[in-house]
Chain A
């Protein structure tokens, strides 16, 4: 079974600084997808960034980028120029391609609570 581990329960960063959130996963699959979701105090989970395992190039979305190390099974999220609105829980998630049952199972980590300080 796939597992996702986020080893940092809480982190803090000063506004305008850069912070990196860690995520490791365990799988025997070669093709899969990785995600970072953000859950602000409003509780609505929002997709931040998505990475396809067969792509070597690291995904980027504006101030958010990932460092995808397939051999090490590591998928860290870097937030540049941190803003107060980045304060949220961040969840790393792993998706196995279709199984024979035809349904998807997104496996989440326990999350990292990020606080951006003014």
Chain B
């Protein structure tokens, strides 16, 4: 198995639920990312992990909590979300985010989240 795999593909949750999104990469990359893709808006970078250490947190509300237990796995824990959080959540990986060489990102197919 290769590439970046995200589960679940679709998720519907109530505002009081707790759920987690999972991302796994089989590319041997050192960096992993969470992006939020909302309708008619540019992709928004949420979090960046490099070698399992968080290096970027773009003022994301605390109801989103990332976790990177190792360089191959990335989670996004969700708690008391709002309807406006409904979006496609994309995971990506790259070899080394510290390279100033225009790293190619490898994306998963995303989790389509609906918050009711």
Contact = CB atoms under 8 A, between A and B. Distances in A.
Dominant SS at the B interface?
A: loop
Interface residues of A, number: 27
Contacts, number: 58
A11 interface: no
Given A103-B50, A107-B42, A45 B105 contact: yes
B79 to A, nearest CB: 24
Interface stretch (B12-20, B22-30, B60-68, B106-114): B106-114
Contact of B55 (A45, A103, A109): A103
Interface size class of B (residues with CB under 8 A): 20 to 34
A43 B42 contact: no
A42 B41 CA distance: 19
Nearest to B94: A104
Nearest to A95: B102
A68 interface: no
A37 to B, nearest CB: 8
